[in-house]
Amino acid sequence: MRLSIASYLLLIISVCFLIQFQLVRLGEAALPSTEASDVEEQARKYYELYEDIWKDLVYFPVPESTQNEEALVSYENSWMFERTYGGSYGHEGTDLMAGIQKSGYYPIVSISDGVVERVGWLEKGGWRIGIRSLHNVYFYYAHLDSYAEDFKEGDVIKAGQILGYMGDTGYGVKEGTRGKFDVHLHLGIYIRTEEIRELAVNPYWFLKYLEQNKLRCAY
């Protein structure tokens, strides 16, 4: 009789222990699944922001020349390559290098519709213009030789509109500093997230996609 009571108690304790163990396991399982859904939510948001870039892409920023078949540009995936002007940092953009090294030769057109958000001199970017597109993407065109018009912040821009001409300005506090590097267009693309005001994304693949949409221009 005593033995069977002891067995009975042992059984209850074992059951209690098993239930508790299962509850702990359930608790553990519940934790990662919450984290996973947060990650999924974040991933979904970023996916949508990236999708917004595609929606605004219309033209490759350098039109094809109808006058000179040697007037080509070349670029590589130089994302986060080291740059050293004013300290060491990663390259946040793509450089479209001029085949003909002549400042002011290649026209630069707006990739997207949008509004001029920034224009004027920047120590690193030289004569630059920044266009905010309809889906809140910031397209940054730097090192221009000159502007096509006297642009002001807030000016409405159409995709394909000439913004200016490719140059070699920048890398100097003094306005108009030029000749510190080869003639090229530095293109930056930035999106805005809840946490980060300007998040740089790699323009390389967007440019590859845009190669099928080149305007033709007489130059």
Q: Which residues bind Zn ion (CB under 5 A)?
A: 93, 95, 186
CB closer to Zn ion out of 46 and 181: 181
Nearest approach in angstroms of CB 31 to Zn ion is 44
Nearest approach in angstroms of CB 176 to Zn ion is 19
Distance in angstroms (rounded) separating the CA atoms of residues 206 and 42: 22
Nearest approach in angstroms of CB 99 to Zn ion is 17
Question: Burial letters for 112-135: b for 16+ Cβ neighbours within 10 Å, e otherwise?
Answer: bbbebbebebbeebbbbbbbbbeb
CB closer to Zn ion out of 46 and 79: 79
CB closer to Zn ion out of 158 and 179: 179
Nearest approach in angstroms of CB 51 to Zn ion is 25
Q: What angle do CA 211, 216, 219 make, to 5 degrees?
A: 120
Instruction: Determine phi and psi for 166, rounding to 5 degrees.
Output: -65, 140
CB closer to Zn ion out of 115 and 172: 172
Which residue from 112, 70, 45, 92 is spatially nearest to 190, judged by alpha carbons? 92
The DSSP bridge partners found for residue 201 are 189
Nearest approach in angstroms of CB 85 to Zn ion is 10
Which residue from 174, 178, 189, 101 is spatially nearest to 144, judged by alpha carbons? 178
Closest residue to Zn ion: CB criterion? 186
CB closer to Zn ion out of 91 and 192: 91
Nearest approach in angstroms of CB 186 to Zn ion is 3
CB closer to Zn ion out of 95 and 145: 95
What single string gives the DSSP state of each residue in 21-74?
Answer: HHHHHHHHHHHHHHHHHHHHHHHHHHHHHHHHHHHH--S-SSPEESS-TT--EE
Q: What is the DSSP letter of 181?
A: S
Which residue from 148, 184, 185 is spatially nearest to 164, judged by alpha carbons? 148
